[in-house]
Structure 1
């Protein structure tokens, strides 16, 4: 009952937001042409609010402090409780808007916010020409209009692993495809090592296990086929991936506390060597960076992309990678929000990535010292990656919640597939997708 309540709420939110206006119209809350102030122009007395999730609220600290000092503005970061996306959509649907927010920059998630009505267009932002070719046109658009800007390298679904655990068990090279990874996992289990760690209680990472298995299909147009009803989540290609995930869990290749383990447990388990591998995205590595220095991470943690046929990553720009600026109806604050982004991606960008010890996405700004090798490897995999469900599907159903229910024993793989498809149909219809 709780699961279907969530489904109905999610669908109702999309419907209520979409019903506010013509989704094809670009309705600006403030009149006149969009201008871009100098990044350090004075903003004394201007208050701005940024919404962030629990795993992204620390990201802008350096930028906020520097911007406030340079401009006289007062920028405040407000943490919105998880599940972040649903919480934000609920607030926005009732008219509660921040000036800026971390947000997944995919078309489906921007559409869920009714971008054309609620968000400021960023198409002519002065920093866009600085983006590296690998990320410049990857994401952030509804149609031809940009509504989100990346601030860090887009997340990639792949495998983070403990180098010392693999080496201690005679594994000298990383797996070259999904089946080979499973073979390695079985060898580790035979030696008493926990091969994989999953965070079933926090749920959101469960979907990566299905999506990496769909990488080859995604490259061959799977999500386009699902968008046009040529395939569904009930089709063998998707259902078999769900079944495979469950079979690996049933085989005992995961942590024994899979049902209760949380995000922070996963990071600790991998860093401490209590598990060998975790299928995860960049925000997971951010957790590791918060608890260990670069030298330790380079010694212990590696990354490799994975797919059925080889080492192909699945890119999924998440809310920790990008920001949107809202149309609040206050022209001064809207301009200040744009200025904040210009400051972040302009004069402050070098200091920001140095503070975060993360990869640069601007061609004129080199990577800072201290970026861990695993993070560089994840970024490098983007050039050969394929899009995720979130990046390529017209709607973003709660696959991860359904998979978590499967882990807890509340759903079968078939039920996961059918429930996900039912929600996809409703969300796609609410978003105005053709054929739904």
Structure 2
């Protein structure tokens, strides 16, 4: 085994040992090339030979079959000590072979990324490897095989923009440098915190930042959650049991007040009761995170995995809707049943939300629900404010709690639009027929839990 790097970064051998109990390396057929590579870059062959001797690796990328936390997978590992983990034609061969192996065997692909980008000594031929990776990733997605990536230090350039950011689940080691621009090419005035695992998580580009000691366990939970015993369609997620002892409201205004009661159960309480453990999916991959929406994959006591998107009682932002749409589409592709919890006074409608694309983001969720081939189960647990709430609702598979309402618009706003005085809001609530029992009678909801 190669020695640890003097800068403290993990070697490929150490990265493999960190996560896998078993690793059987595969090697693609050797590629013949002209002396000093396709560009005839003087000294390139010698540099590769020194890198191989120093690291014990034949290239900047290694791959093979592995067992991680008791689960079979294909493991793809970068060796940063080999010319900075850079991508050239031979590395591209290995990347493509790893994706193909995962697709052929139907087991998840786990990538441990540590790269500085494309290899300058191979010029545009090296950069073109990114297109090979993108094509291989598209084929893997079409095969409905999950891809989990772990961003090590550093994860920059094209490797971050393809193998890293293109995965279904993106984890990052705490303190890792993560960014498209490496430290030697980014603007000198750039905020260094933007190029860290923690900064990328805050910006919605990473699902979770993980300490090295927790990595194997986290990957094992993900691999266990994404494993399916059957190739058939999944069973619908069960409707959550009620957590409130509230009685059905007498008036529409009673329903509104019950839904707005700060003491009633919220999404966190429902999710904690519903799952034994949860794996978060965070961020919209467009630079935004909405703390008012909770998304991920949870595992129930019977071992079943269910994807979830839950509003947490605040006005949902465009980033929240885009995150929900991402999770809905991921659940659909990986054949996971989906649970949505509705609790929002409505979509965020300030100027910032409009500039961030509130309308298109809501439309994206409506489309994701409409296109889903997996069963979607919805429970309205609090406020159901207009289209911002309806976007997450499953047509024909929506239930309600006793302490909720669901309305075309909030009664106060309805009264304002109708030019009624504010004191007419309670009467307007009755006219809107927004109580749980009204929703069942109207056919909007299948039942009250």
TM-score (norm 1): 0.25
State which structure, 1 or 2, has the greater radius of gyration over its C-alpha atoms. 2
Higher helix share: 1
Higher strand share: 2
